[in-house]
Amino acid sequence: MSAHLLVWPIVLPLAVGALQLLLGERRRGAVAALGAASCVALVGLAVALLLRVGAGDEPAAVYRIGDWPARYGIVLVADRLSALMLLLTAVLALALLPSALGRRRRPGGPVQPLVQFLLMGLNGAFLAGDLFNLFVFFEVLLAASYGLALYRPGARRVSAGMHYIVVNLLASMLFLVGVSLIFGVTGTLNMAALAQLVPRVPDNTRALLHAGAAILGIAFLVKAAMWPLGFWLPRTYAAAPAPVAAMFAVMTKVGVYVLLRLSLLLFGGGAGAASAHFGAGWLLWGGIATVAVGVVGMLGARELGKLAGYNVLVSSGSLLGAVGLQQPAVTAGALAYLVVSTLAIAAFFLLAGLIAPREDAEGASLLEPYDPTGMALYADEDESQAGLPAPVALLAACFLVCALVLAGLPPLSGFLAKFALLAPMLGGGPGAVTLFALIVAAGLCTVIAMCRTGIQIFWADEDWVFPAIRAGEAASVVILLALCLGLTVLAEAPLRYLTDTAAQLHAPAHYIRAVLP
């Protein structure tokens, strides 16, 4: 079992998804039990891998399929970053399971198998040691996400889903073009082998290598939703079912993961004078622009789903800017922010589904537009409010915790993660100072947007109708926010692990030696 540990996060969801398809809708209990068992097992596998690569004796675990040499065969690699992403994905899937199962009151298609295939694609992307198999797993997770985005299609969902599909098909085409150019220049697609070859590429073909890397980067920037390539995200995520949108919160991090991996492995300080830090400036300023667009979108959003979607843009832009700085301390803070923001945004998408369902084109409850004179309407009202029903009070408490984490206010984990991200930027260059100021401003704007939304929903709007709250859906929100609170209390060990992870990423020689002994 331990010898084949790396392949199980891919094989297990593939086998479970296939078995769920064979069982069909009429055996929904068995299908649900298989899905739950798979998620629990994936968490266990991710923890085992994290302990294995985090022990210090083995910087990266390598699995060569068919025992072919890594330069020519299929190789799976798990280092600290891969294990972290596997654990985050598995924990998120397990936490969302009560919500997903709570919504299945009637037959609705192969949702559970699609979730398993999505997990297979995500895990494969995090473990892939070469660009071709990264493309394969990238397509697997995209194909599964297409089916999930169009689950129970209405006019609004189909319109948003078709935009999502077309944009990602174009990104896949760019992916293939970029990979082809890189292979034509170097003769290999193994990431560790590429890291060895990039400094030795002849000057007459280096421009072609850079062109291939840039095209490949655009494909992942689409997935990471960098401005102006992320125009599709708020609308698509707002139209998707709440559990699906919550699971999609980790999908934007696939693009961030690959960009972080390739930028430091292939174009870090050891890539030679001509290629060192290639594209870092674009990532930095593109991330800054993405944060700015996300802030404007949050302040103008009139729908909870879109407000959550613009929070994704702010998170993604902050991470892309941090990747562009290529500083170990900033990278460690960015990884902490990646984990916390993913969990909090997933919880926010679930809350949006509980507070304002959006099952069809006209079903989304709209928030009032901003009116600076509107507060006069409430000036003479009696501020003593009747007690909220227990389920609504639970939603209000969860909304408050979610707002605090997303805004990065003390003392919760969102503040700790943002502090770890921002502190190393002080004293940096103009780009670092700009990113620092914009992330701080984004936190303030998040407070404004969330407070305005919470006041209207839970206080000022007496006509707001809350749907029936199912225990499973509420349980998923509580679990995700409890994880955020747990990271607040137990922050020292995770931050130490993330600091070591960042140090490993910025010293890729250990990764290369593990893959190419």
pLDDT (0 to 100) of residue 57: 65
Q: What are the sequence ranges of the domains in the chain?
A: 2-367+388-515
Q: Tell me if 287 sits within 8 A of 319, measured CB to CB.
A: yes
Q: Tell me if 43 sits within 8 A of 91, measured CB to CB.
A: yes
pLDDT < 50 positions in the chain:
1, 105-108, 359-364, 375-386
Burial class from Cβ neighbours inside 10 Å (0-12, 13-18, 19+) for residue 302 reads: middle
**Cα dihedral: 465, 470, 472, 478 (round 10):** 40
Classify 75 as helix, strand or coil. Answer: strand
Q: Tell me if 40 sits within 8 A of 478, measured CB to CB.
A: no
CB atoms under 10 Å from CB of 277, counted, come to 16
Structure-block tokens of residue 357: 């369902």
pLDDT (0 to 100) of residue 510: 85
pLDDT (0 to 100) of residue 446: 92
Classify 106 as helix, strand or coil. Answer: coil
pLDDT (0 to 100) of residue 243: 86
Structure-block tokens of residue 395: 């939603």
Between CA 148 and CA 145 the distance in angstroms is: 5
Between CA 455 and CA 295 the distance in angstroms is: 19
pLDDT (0 to 100) of residue 384: 45
CB atoms under 10 Å from CB of 506, counted, come to 16
pLDDT (0 to 100) of residue 361: 40
Which run of H or of E encompasses 196?
helix 191-197
Question: Which residues are within 8 A (CB) of 464 and not within 5 positions of it... i.e. 6 or more apart?
Answer: 365, 456, 457
Query: What is the pTM (predicted TM-score) of this model?
Result: 0.89
CB atoms under 10 Å from CB of 334, counted, come to 25
Structure-block tokens of residue 40: 């629990």
SS (H, E, C) 346-386: HHHHHHHHHHCCCCCCCCCCCCCCCCCCHHHHHCCCCCCCC
CB atoms under 10 Å from CB of 400, counted, come to 15
Structure-block tokens of residue 50: 């994290």
Scan for tokens 């994905």, then name that residue: 89
Between CA 127 and CA 75 the distance in angstroms is: 9
Scan for tokens 């220049």, then name that residue: 185
Task: Quickly list H helices, 55-154.
Answer: 80-102, 111-127, 131-149
Between CA 283 and CA 288 the distance in angstroms is: 8
Between CA 376 and CA 366 the distance in angstroms is: 21
Classify 128 as helix, strand or coil. Answer: strand
pLDDT (0 to 100) of residue 348: 92
pLDDT (0 to 100) of residue 44: 93
Question: Which residues are within 8 A (CB) of 29 and not within 5 positions of it... i.e. 6 or more apart?
Answer: none
Between CA 35 and CA 17 the distance in angstroms is: 8
Q: Tell me if 137 sits within 8 A of 124, measured CB to CB.
A: yes
Of 100, 93, 47, the residue nearest 250 (C-alpha): 93
pLDDT (0 to 100) of residue 397: 87
Structure-block tokens of residue 172: 């896949």
**Sign (positive or negative) of CA dihedral 283, 284, 288, 291:** positive
Structure-block tokens of residue 2: 């331990």
CB atoms under 10 Å from CB of 197, counted, come to 18
Between CA 293 and CA 498 the distance in angstroms is: 28
Q: Tell me if 260 sits within 8 A of 320, measured CB to CB.
A: no
Question: Which residues are within 8 A (CB) of 407 and not within 5 positions of it... i.e. 6 or more apart?
Answer: 414, 443, 444, 446, 447, 450
Q: Tell me if 320 sits within 8 A of 257, measured CB to CB.
A: no
